[in-house]
Each structure stands twice: as structure tokens, then as C-alpha cells.
Amino acid sequence: MKLKYFIILFLSAFTFCIALNSTSYAKTEKISYQVPKNIDLTDIIRGDTKGLEEKTIYGELRMPSSVEGKVPAVVIMHASGGVFSFREIKMAKLLNKNGIAAFIPYSFKARGITNTKQTAGTGVTFGMRLTDAYGALNLLSAHPNINKDKIAIMGYSSGGIISLLSSDEKIRRQLATDTLKFAAHINVYAGTIFIFKNAEPTKAPILFLSGEKDNTCPVEKVMAYAQRLKDAGGNITTIVYPGAHHVFDAKMSTKTVSTTNDGNCQFEILDNGNLVDSATGELFPEKDYPGDHIKPCSVKKATFGRNMSAAKKYKIDAIDFLMNALQP
């Protein structure tokens, strides 16, 4: 009798382990799609998006294999260094374990850019990356196993800027198919170098995850813009991790390097699509960025690296936020 009970218990545990492994396994698929080849923020807001030459880019879709029917999804926008296993891929796997699909657009690699640490100077505008993000939203909305009303976006650093900009109705109206919109936005150590003068949030919940000591994307500027969005009717949540610097989930320990850091720069996006340089008051389209516009406000110092507490906690905070925002 005891032996029979032990066998049943063992088989139950074995079956449970198989179920856990099945849940974490993801089906991965490379998907190509078309986006405008040369476009910027100014073009998008002005509605100059039709008839442009197109470029084929691609993304990686990771589906949780054990979940049946339509599942929620998250578009993950990579930072200036591209897609990394410790960051974007790891987050995609975590999403899959929680029954959420993940799609990672390869904004740089798909355009032949394989070695960069800064978006400025790559020739890839923030407008181009916004079309990558919304192209992914439009693509995923037609997927038979994805719930089109439960597609969120999250981004890291410069990718977080894309997540943030995509939350404005002026962008959504121009790039989304019909009434589609992102169901939630997560901005991980994202900067506020580009902000809307007249913010018009889509009302989807927005989460800011910032490091207290980030001098690349200064938390004071980020929190000030978060408050502006809240004042404009946005559904805003902010979390600041004590002692954390930029890229607080990196493998490397914290270090300070001499590099061009435009974290002190800020440009307002006007309703006509032009940018206003806050340092000089000069008007210009995004295609003219960075040019001379970052010289008055950039510095030659940046601190970044791993903060053990923040690296662990931000994943918990992100998943909790998504489970609430994407629930049925």
C-alpha cells in the first residue's frame, strides 16, 4: 500500500515537472515586415507617411507553447546596443513563463547596424523606430493566437523612449491600424530627451522604471515629464530604484566612462511635428538631430552598470504591472 502511494506521488510530481518545463518552453519564429525606409518624428506627426519607399525589417516572436487560444503579447524595443541575451531575450522568456507572447523588433541589426552604443549618428531616427513598434502592433493584431486588444510595449533606454513616445495619441493616430493602440507601456531606464509640448496620452497605463542615480536618463527629468503626462490625464505609475544607475540590469559592475552623454538635453515636440531645442530655442525637424543641437547640453561622463536589487525587482514590478494591465 505504501509502495503504491509512493508511486502515485512520484508520478504526480514527475507530471508537474513536465508541465513546468512545457510552460517555460517557447516557440520562436522570425517574422519580416515592411516599414517606411526614411521617416522621422516630424513626418509622422504631420501625416507624411504615405507613398514612402519601404524597408524590410524583422522581429523575433516567442510564443508560450503551453497556452491555448489567444494570448496577450508584449513588443520589446531594444536599447542602443541592440538585442542582448541578458536583457531582451531574458525578458521575453520571463513573459513566456507567465503566458505572454513576446515580439522583439531588430531595429538596428535588420538595417545592417551591428556595433553601436548610441542611437545618435546611426541614421536610424526615433521616427523609424516608432514605425518598427507600430508595425509590430499591426502585425501581431492579425495573429490568430494573439489578443489584439492586449498587446503592450516595453523598451530599454532608447527603446524606452520609443515606448514612451508611442503612448501619445498624435503618434497612434498616424501609425496604428484603425483604432488599435498599445494596451500598456513600460519604460525601463528610459530618457525624456524628446517630450511632447502638448501631451495627449492614449489613456493606456504607463510604467516608468528608473534608477535613482541615473545620469544618462536623469530621474528628475523623467519624473517631471511623468507628472506632466499625469496632469494631461495619463494613467501613470513611477518606480525609482535606490542607488541604481543606468542599465541597472547589466552583467558588468558599475563604472563611470568618458563618453558623449546627452542626458541633459531635452527637445519639445510641437503639434506641427517640429522639435524645439530647449537650450537654444531653435526649431528643427528630427532628421537634423543630433547635429549641433546636443553640443550645448551634452557632457563627457556616464555611469552605468548592475545594481543587484534593481535588476531583480524591476522584473517583478514589470510582470505585476502587465498581469494587471493585460488581464481579461
Hey, what amino acid is at 312? Answer: K
**Residue 7 included in any domain:** no
**Residue 127 included in any domain:** yes
d(CA 140, CA 31): 10
20 falls in which pLDDT band (50, 70, 90)?
Answer: very low
For cell 531595429, the residue is: 107
Tell which wins on pLDDT, 230 or 115: 230
**Residue 112 included in any domain:** yes
Q: What is the pLDDT of residue 294?
A: 86
Q: 52 lies in which domain range? A: 29-325
**Residue 9 included in any domain:** no
Bridge partners of residue 73, in order along the sequence:
101, 151
**Residue 256 included in any domain:** yes
201 falls in which pLDDT band (50, 70, 90)?
Answer: very high
pLDDT at 45 exceeding the cut of 60: yes
d(CA 208, CA 203): 15
**Residue 1 included in any domain:** no
Domain count, the chain: 1
d(CA 229, CA 238): 12
Do residues 186 and 318 lie in contact, with contact meaning Cβ atoms separated by under 8 Å? yes
| CATH code, domain with 265 | 3.40.50.1820
> pLDDT tens digits, residue range 257-267?
988 888 889 99
203 falls in which pLDDT band (50, 70, 90)?
Answer: very high
**Residue 18 included in any domain:** no
Question: How large is the average pLDDT for residues 64-79?
Answer: 91
C-alpha cell at 202: 492614449
Cβ within 8 Å of residue 162, ≥6 positions away: 77, 126, 129, 130, 132, 133, 153, 155
Residues 168-178 as b/e (b if ≥16 CB within 10 A, e otherwise) read: bebbbebbbee
Question: How large is the average pLDDT for residues 131-140?
Answer: 98
Cβ within 8 Å of residue 256, ≥6 positions away: 301, 302, 303
Do residues 39 and 285 lie in contact, with contact meaning Cβ atoms separated by under 8 Å? no
- What is the pTM assigned to this prediction? 0.90
pLDDT at 145 exceeding the cut of 90: yes
d(CA 177, CA 38): 20
For cell 550645448, the residue is: 296
- Of 259, 260, 256, nearest to 246 by C-alpha is 256
Do residues 126 and 286 lie in contact, with contact meaning Cβ atoms separated by under 8 Å? yes
24 falls in which pLDDT band (50, 70, 90)?
Answer: very low
Cβ within 8 Å of residue 57, ≥6 positions away: 32, 33, 35, 105, 106, 107, 110, 111, 132, 135
d(CA 72, CA 101): 6
Q: What is the pLDDT of residue 128?
A: 97
**Residue 98 included in any domain:** yes
Question: How large is the average pLDDT for residues 212-216?
Answer: 96
